Chains A and B, each alone.
Chain A
Amino acid sequence: MTTNPAELAAQPYSGEKARLSRHFDYLILVLAFFLYIGSFHLNVALTVGDWDFWLDWKDRQWWPLITPLMMITFPAAVQSLLWERFRLPMGATLCMCCLLIGSWITRVFAYHYWNYFPINMVLPATMLPSALVLDVILMLTNSMTFTAIFGSAAFALLFYPSNWPMFGMFHVPVEYGGAQLTIADLFGFQYIRAGMPEYLRIIERGTLRTYGQYATPLASFFSALLCTLMYTLWWHLGKWFATVRYLKKI
C-alpha cells in the first residue's frame, strides 16, 4: 500500500488511534459542512439578502460594498479557528463552498421550483476566487495582521471582476416602454414579485457618483477598507468563541 508523503509528515498516530482520529475528522467535516451551509447561508440571506437574490439589485455601488463586507465574516472566524489551532488554510474556501452549495439548493428548489422564478434571475454571486486568495495569503504569511490588510483588500477587490463575467451580460441595454433598461431591470419588471416593488431596491443611491461614472472601483476600495476592519473583528470573534479545551483532554 502506498502512502501519501504529506500524510506521513503530519501523522503522529498509528494503528487504531490513527483510524479513530480519521473517523473523528470525517464526523467533524460532515457536521461542519451542514453547519456552515445553514448558518453562513442564513447570515448572508439576512445581511446581503436581496443584493444576492435578484439580478436587478446587483448595482455598481451597494452590491460590491455590502457583499464582500458581509461575506468576510464567517470566513474570518473559521480561518481563526482552523489556522490558529490546526494550521489548516481552508477556512474561507470551506465557508464559501458551503454557502454556494446552500445558495444553489435554495435558488433551484425554493425560488425556481416552488416560486417559479427562472434560475438566471436569481443567480447567486460567487466569492470563491476571493476566498481562495484569502486562504493562501493567510497560509503564506502566517499573519492575521497581514491577512487582514492585504487578504481582506484582495477579497473585496476581486469580487466585482469575479462576477462581471456572469452578470455583465445582464447589463446589456434594451428599449422598453420608451426608456432604456438593462436586461436585469427587465427581469424585475416582467417576472412579478408581489412583495418587491421597484422602489424597494437600494441601488445607485449615494454620493459616489460625484466622482463621475466610476462608482464601482470606489465602492470596491471602500469595501476593501471596511473588510480589513470586519476581518479583524470576526477573527477575534472566532477566536473567542472557539475552544479546544476538549482536545487538550484527549
Chain B
Amino acid sequence: MLKRLGFLGCVLTTLAAGISVAHAHGEKALEPFIRMRTIQWYDVSWSNPTVEVNDAVTVTGRFHVAEDWPIGVPKPEAAYLNISVPGPVMIRTERYLNGQPWTNSVALRPGADYDFKVVLKARVPGRYHIHPFFNLKDAGPVMGPGRWIEIGGDAAAFSNPVKTLGGEVIDMESYGLATGVMWHGLWLLVGLAWLLWWISRPLFFPRYKMLEAGREAELVTPLDRRIAKVILVAVPVVVLGANAMAQNAYPNTIPLQAALDHIDPLEPVVNTGAVQVKILRAEYRVPGRSMAMTAQIFNGTGHPIRIGEFATAGLRFINAVAVVPSQDETDHLTAAAGLHLDNDAPIQPGERRTVMISATDAIWETEKLDGLIRDADSRLGGLLFFYDDAGQRYITSSSVAVIPRFD
C-alpha cells in the first residue's frame, strides 16, 4: 500500500512540476508562409506596459499587405483587427485604421499600406501577454508582435459608461441584466410550478398502468384542463403585453449593424520605388538556422543607403552595423545583431548591387518559421528596411522561393 501511495505521489509530483502557465496564443501554429506573406507588421508599440483598472493602453503600428498573397489563402475581403487577450480583461474603446474609426470588418488590398491604433481600457487585474492580430476571413489569425501588460487595481472599480443616442448614460457592465434576470426568473417560476403540479402526484408506474388499463380519463382531471386553458390564454397575453410595453419603452431601436467598413489605404509607404529589391535566391540553412538571401538592390534615392533590418512574421533581424532608429528591441522576437551582409558599405545613389544577406538566429526555429521548407507554399516573404545617413527610412516587401540546405 505504502509503495503504491509512494508511486502515486511520485507521479503527481512529476505532473505538478511539469505544469506551467500557457502564454502563447497559437501564433506559431499558423503555417509560416501565411504568417510571412499576408499581413507584414512593423513599428508596433504600446503606450504603457503597467496600468491600473480603468486606465487606457494604446497600441499603434503599421502593416503592409503582401503583394505575393498566397494562392491557398482567400483574399482579405473581410478582415478584423483584433487583440489577443485571455477574455475581455481589457475592453477595446477605440480602433482606427489610417486614422479612420471603424467597428466592423474591412476589406484590405494586397500591396497596400495601413497604420492602426487601438485604445484599450484595463478591466481585470493581472499580467497578460497581448498581441494585435488580424482575423482574416477563411484564413485564420495572423499575429502581430506581443507584449506583457500588467494591470493593477480592483476589478470591481471598473466602469464602462456609454451615452445612447437618446442621451441616456448607461453602464455596459450591468445594463439590462436586472431585466433579463427578472424575466428569466418569472418564466422559470411559472415553468417549475407547472412541473411541480404534475410531479407532485404519482408518476411513471401508476400512470403507465392506468393508461394500459384504459383509465386515461382519470389521469388528466377537469382541474388540470382548467389550468391548462388559463395557461393557454394567459401566457400569450403576458408575452404580447410585455412585448408591447417593451416597444413603448424603447420606440427607437435599430437592427444589428452588419456593414463592411470601407477604408482607403495610405499613400504607398512600402515599395515606393525609391529602392528596388529583387531577391534572386534564398536558402535556409537548417543546422545554422540561417536564411541566406541573394538580393539585387537598386538605390534610386539621392542618398547612400544601408540595410538595417529584415522583418518577417513578427521577427526582426537587425543589422548592428547600420543606423537603426531606436525601438524596443528587448523582446524575444528581435535578433539584435542577427542580420549580416557580405558588404556593409553603403549603396550609393544610382548604384545597383548584388548583396548576400544572412538572417541568422535560433528564433527561426523557436518561432517555428523553419517549417517553411515543409510548407506546400514554401516561399519566403518579408520587409527590408533601408536607412540613409539622415535617418530616412525606405521599406521594400519581397518574396522568393526558399531552398533548404541540410548540410
The interface residues of chain B lying within 8 Å CB-to-CB of A105 are none
One of A40-48, A119-127, A221-229, A231-239 at the interface: A119-127
Does the CB pair A29–B200 fall under 8 Å?
Answer: no
Q: Chain A 121-145 against B: per-residue CB contact (8 Å), 1 yes, 0 no?
A: 0011010110111011101100000
One of B38-46, B163-171, B349-357 at the interface: B163-171
Query: A150–B192 Cα gap in the complex (Å)?
Result: 24
Interface residue from A115, A158, A165, A244 paired with B246 (Cβ < 8 Å) = A165
Known: A120-B180, A172-B250. A10 touches B188 (CB 8 A): no
The interface residues of chain A lying within 8 Å CB-to-CB of B375 are none
Does the CB pair B165–A140 fall under 8 Å?
Answer: no
Q: In angstroms, how far is the closest chain B Cβ from the Cβ of A90?
A: 5
Closest to B120 in A: A192
Known: A11-B202, A192-B82. A174 touches B211 (CB 8 A): no
Q: Does A106 contact B (CB under 8 A)?
A: no
Q: Does B148 contact A (CB under 8 A)?
A: no
Does the CB pair A168–B204 fall under 8 Å?
Answer: no
Does the CB pair B202–A13 fall under 8 Å?
Answer: yes
Closest to B223 in A: A6
Give chain B interface residues in 203-226, CB to chain A under 8 Å: 203-211, 213, 215-216, 218-221, 223-225
The interface residues of chain B lying within 8 Å CB-to-CB of A35 are none
Closest to B218 in A: A9
Q: Chain A 67-101 against B: per-residue CB contact (8 Å), 1 yes, 0 no?
A: 00000000000000000011111100110110011
Q: Does A161 contact B (CB under 8 A)?
A: yes
Q: Does A185 contact B (CB under 8 A)?
A: yes
The interface residues of chain B lying within 8 Å CB-to-CB of A39 are none
Does the CB pair A90–B202 fall under 8 Å?
Answer: no
Does the CB pair A28–B204 fall under 8 Å?
Answer: yes
Closest to B200 in A: A4
One of B91-99, B284-292, B330-338, B390-398 at the interface: B91-99
Q: Does A2 contact B (CB under 8 A)?
A: no
Query: A87–B246 Cα gap in the complex (Å)?
Result: 37
Known: A178-B101, A204-B255. A10 touches B231 (CB 8 A): no
Interface residue from B95, B135, B209, B225 paired with A177 (Cβ < 8 Å) = B95
Q: In angstroms, how far is the closest chain B Cβ from the Cβ of A82?
A: 9
Among B168, B177, B180, which residue has the most Cβ atoms of chain A within 10 A?
Answer: B180
The bracket for how many chain B residues form the interface is 35 or more
Query: A101–B195 Cα gap in the complex (Å)?
Result: 14
Known: A183-B170, A184-B256. A87 touches B207 (CB 8 A): yes
Give chain B interface residues in 144-174, CB to chain A under 8 Å: 160, 162-166, 168, 170, 172-174
Q: Does A149 contact B (CB under 8 A)?
A: no
Query: A100–B187 Cα gap in the complex (Å)?
Result: 10
The interface residues of chain B lying within 8 Å CB-to-CB of A4 are 200-201
The interface residues of chain A lying within 8 Å CB-to-CB of B175 are 120, 169-170, 183
Closest to B189 in A: A128
Query: A186–B92 Cα gap in the complex (Å)?
Result: 10
Does the CB pair A176–B206 fall under 8 Å?
Answer: no
The interface residues of chain B lying within 8 Å CB-to-CB of A170 are 175-176
Interface residue from A169, A185, A200 paired with B250 (Cβ < 8 Å) = A169
Q: Chain B 246-271 against A: per-residue CB contact (8 Å), 1 yes, 0 no?
A: 11011011111111100000000000
Does the CB pair A199–B176 fall under 8 Å?
Answer: no
Q: In angstroms, how far is the closest chain B Cβ from the Cβ of A44?
A: 15
Does the CB pair B202–A25 fall under 8 Å?
Answer: yes
Give chain A interface residues in 151-200, CB to chain B under 8 Å: 154, 158, 160-162, 164-187, 189-194, 197-200
Closest to B254 in A: A173
The interface residues of chain B lying within 8 Å CB-to-CB of A24 are 204-205
Known: A29-B199, A185-B257, A186-B172. A21 touches B184 (CB 8 A): no
Query: A158–B241 Cα gap in the complex (Å)?
Result: 12
Does the CB pair A199–B78 fall under 8 Å?
Answer: yes
Give chain A interface residues in 13-70, CB to chain B under 8 Å: 13, 18, 21-22, 24-25, 28-29, 56-60
Q: Does B12 contact A (CB under 8 A)?
A: no
Q: Does B276 contact A (CB under 8 A)?
A: no
Q: Does B21 contact A (CB under 8 A)?
A: no
Does the CB pair B252–A90 fall under 8 Å?
Answer: no
Q: Does B123 contact A (CB under 8 A)?
A: yes
Closest to B85 in A: A192
The interface residues of chain A lying within 8 Å CB-to-CB of B258 are 59, 201, 203-205
Query: A60–B255 Cα gap in the complex (Å)?
Result: 7
Q: Does A1 contact B (CB under 8 A)?
A: no
Does the CB pair B203–A96 fall under 8 Å?
Answer: no
Interface residue from A86, A116, A174, A204 paired with B256 (Cβ < 8 Å) = A204
Interface residue from B211, B245, B260 paired with A87 (Cβ < 8 Å) = B211
Q: Does B279 contact A (CB under 8 A)?
A: no
Query: A160–B244 Cα gap in the complex (Å)?
Result: 12
Q: In angstroms, how far is the closest chain B Cβ from the Cβ of A234?
A: 20
Closest to B194 in A: A93
Nearest 9 Cβ contacts at the A-B interface: A177-B101, A197-B135, A197-B80, A161-B243, A171-B253, A128-B187, A136-B228, A116-B87, A115-B87
Q: Would you give 12 A-B contacts (Cβ < 8 Å), ordered by A? A: A25-B205, A88-B207, A120-B176, A132-B190, A133-B232, A140-B229, A162-B187, A171-B255, A174-B165, A176-B103, A203-B256, A205-B258
For the A-B complex with A136-B228, A181-B257, A197-B137 known, give 18 more contacts whose Cβ atoms are closer than 8 Å.
A7-B201, A10-B201, A10-B206, A11-B202, A12-B209, A86-B208, A87-B220, A88-B207, A93-B195, A115-B87, A120-B175, A120-B180, A123-B180, A136-B232, A162-B187, A192-B87, A192-B90, A197-B80
Query: Measuring CB to CB, which residues of chain A are less than 8 angstroms from any residue of chain B?
Result: 4-7, 9-13, 18, 21-22, 24-25, 28-29, 56-60, 85-90, 93-94, 96-97, 100-101, 104, 114-120, 123-124, 126, 128-129, 131-133, 135-137, 139-140, 154, 158, 160-162, 164-187, 189-194, 197-201, 203-205, 215, 244, 247, 250
